[in-house]
Structure 1
Amino acid sequence: MIYSFSGNRLDTGRHVLVRDGAPVAVEPQVFDILCLLVRNAGQLVTKDRLIDEIWDGRIVSEASISSGINAARTAVGDNGRDQRIIRTVPRRGFEMVAEITADERGTAEAQADLRQTIRYVAAPDGRSIAWSSAGEGPPVLYASHHLSHLEKDWASDLHAPWHRALAGAHRVIRFDNRGTGLSDRITPEDTLDDHVADMLAVADAAGLERFPIVAWLQAGAVAVRFAARHPERVSRLVLLNSYARGRLARGQAPAAPGDDPFISLIRSGGWGDPADGFMRAWATMVVPMAGAEQTTDLIRLIAHAGTTEDALLQRDLIDNLDVTEDLARVQAPTLVIHTRMCAIHPATEGRRVAAGIRDAEFIEVDSSNTIIIAGDPTIDRVIGAVLEFLGADQSD
């Protein structure tokens, strides 16, 4: 939805605020406050409701509420004296008083214009792997993280900036890893090499001969091994918050699963439930810069991606992977991008990957998110760098 008021244009799908034609940098929590107020324009939003929806019902001080409202006012060109746009109702709450027009077109319509086609391919062991194609132009294989769902992710506002940008210039091939989304389930016997074989099966089914790969997180390790074993197939490699060693392989996680808070949160019993406190804590570790509404959306996507057991099996494989020896065998030009404050896979791992691949470029951005979603302050820079790097493939 796109809301227009007093020279402002608030795009809830893209998590973008534009004032007088210029983009405005807005913290995710402040953006959530604006969304709540514009959706209830002309109505009182009580402080209790504000706390419930923005702070998840936690106890917050009056100063924190005032700070959030003041930041929202500043973002839209208002202030506490004039209150032309956001009015304070003493001792009760706040009201959006500006005249607002709403345009229901936007993200959903843009995604409809970029329709994807979903197909299946059999992996060498007979497992069915779901893959999709969207857009036109030079192909790119987009390998997502281990909690994906081709249909739900495609319709999600969280990932829309990536899909629109890539499919607007490329034929984008995506797939669900075994154990997630529309693909067959994972088993304890599955290995990293099985995932490499799945990637090859998808590339062959899509008719890709020589192509670039954009890979997130653990898919980066899969892509590195794929590129090392099939150098003739990979023209360029983009690795986003990727790593060569899983958490156990690099000594970051406790050896006993019961001692690992990250695993304990998955086992908590509320997997995929936005109302579960443990689930929200886990999601906050993944995307700490997300607002409350985005955190809820992410958890709902995860619920579709797989079960608790799927997630635990995926984590066991991911935490133990190690493709360090494959790095030196990668021949394709490589771009490594890592968020500086990522708590799950620290930037030192991204630097290690870049150092291991000959002539790899490395970009570090000021974000703490593990996945760079809509509203992340670095998303425009990152997508721009990826598109520029992929574009150079056409002139090679």
Structure 2
Amino acid sequence: MAYAARRPERVSRLILTGAYARGRQIRARDDAEREAAALDLDLARVGWSNQDAGFLQVFASQFLPDGTPRDWEDFTAFQRRTTSPANGVRFLEEFARIDVSGIAHRVSCPTLILHSRDDARVPAAQAGELAALIPDSRLVLLDSRNHLLTASEPAWVEFLSHIDAFLAE
């Protein structure tokens, strides 16, 4: 989003999935939400650093609550292959502090926002906020609880269909 806002001549269309304007630490409205956001990061620091299998399964289930144990194992294996524990924690810290709410209105290209209606990691209300901030955006809520859609769920076909139609316009 920030790139599209800063370099509009370089972005003709933007597709966002599972996105939000303000990270969990930024959007926390009260002490309970701030404590929950801090706890999420503390658990990640300990779990990722120790490569704790229990933490990694809980972490995977936040992204794929309707996933199978095999989906969780694959997600965890992918995380281990693609980043170090320290870098995984840094990503989570940065994502929790993201705030593009002040520049989202500068995104000038057509934007498709796809989000799971019952996303367990990022509430759909966050996608609604994003859609309200970005002019010429279209929000599609998909029938899923997963933050990361899997090819085996019904929402996957709809997800791909919306992307294909948006890019063909």
Q: TM-score, normalised by structure 2?
A: 0.89
1:314-365 CA deviation, whole Å, 9 max, x = no partner? 1111111100111111110111111011122110010111111112111101
Q: Secondary structure at the match of 2:8?
A: coil
- Specify which of 105, 108, 126 is matched with residue 328 of structure 1: 105
Pairs within 5 Å for 1:202-281:
224-251=1-28, 253-254=33-34, 259-261=38-40, 263-268=42-47, 269-271=49-51, 276-281=53-58
Q: Secondary structure at the match of 1:249?
A: helix
Pairs within 5 Å for 1:36-115:
none
**Counterparts in 2 of 1:365 and 1:374: CA distance versus 1, 3 Å:** same
Aligned to 1:361: 138
Distance 1:344 1:263 in 2: 16
Pairs within 5 Å for 1:336-351:
336-351=113-128
| Pairwise CA distance, 1:376 | 2.4
| Pairwise CA distance, 1:370 | 1.0
Which protein is bigger by CA-based radius of gyration? 1
**Counterparts in 2 of 1:349 and 1:389: CA distance versus 1, 3 Å:** same
**Counterparts in 2 of 1:266 and 1:366: CA distance versus 1, 3 Å:** farther
| Pairwise CA distance, 1:309 | 1.0
Distance 1:372 1:225 in 2: 24
**Counterparts in 2 of 1:331 and 1:368: CA distance versus 1, 3 Å:** same
Distance 1:358 1:375 in 2: 33
- Specify which of 368, 373, 386 is matched with residue 150 of structure 2: 373
Q: Secondary structure at the match of 1:227?
A: helix
Distance 2:94 2:74 in 1: 26
| Pairwise CA distance, 1:234 | 0.8
Distance 1:358 1:364 in 2: 18
Distance 2:58 2:126 in 1: 24
- Specify which of 65, 77, 92 is matched with residue 288 of structure 1: 65
Q: Which runs of 5+ in 2 are unaligned?
A: none
**Counterparts in 2 of 1:366 and 1:270: CA distance versus 1, 3 Å:** farther
Contact 1:243 1:349 in 2 (8 A): yes
Aligned to 1:316: 93
Aligned to 1:93: none
Aligned to 1:188: none
Contact 1:248 1:255 in 2 (8 A): no
Q: Give the structure with the higher percent helix.
A: 2
Contact 1:267 1:308 in 2 (8 A): no
Contact 1:284 1:290 in 2 (8 A): yes
Distance 2:84 2:135 in 1: 39
Distance 2:95 2:63 in 1: 15
Contact 2:41 2:89 in 1 (8 A): no
Identity of aligned residues (%): 28
Distance 1:384 1:263 in 2: 38
Contact 1:289 1:368 in 2 (8 A): yes
Q: Which amino acid aligns with 2:6?
A: R
Q: Secondary structure at the match of 2:136?
A: coil
Distance 2:42 2:91 in 1: 11
Aligned to 1:102: none
4+ aligned runs moved over 4 Å, structure 1? none
Q: Secondary structure at the match of 1:378?
A: helix
Distance 2:80 2:114 in 1: 27
Q: Which runs of 5+ in 1 are unaligned?
A: 1-223
Distance 1:323 1:243 in 2: 9
Distance 1:232 1:346 in 2: 31
Q: TM-score, normalised by structure 1?
A: 0.40
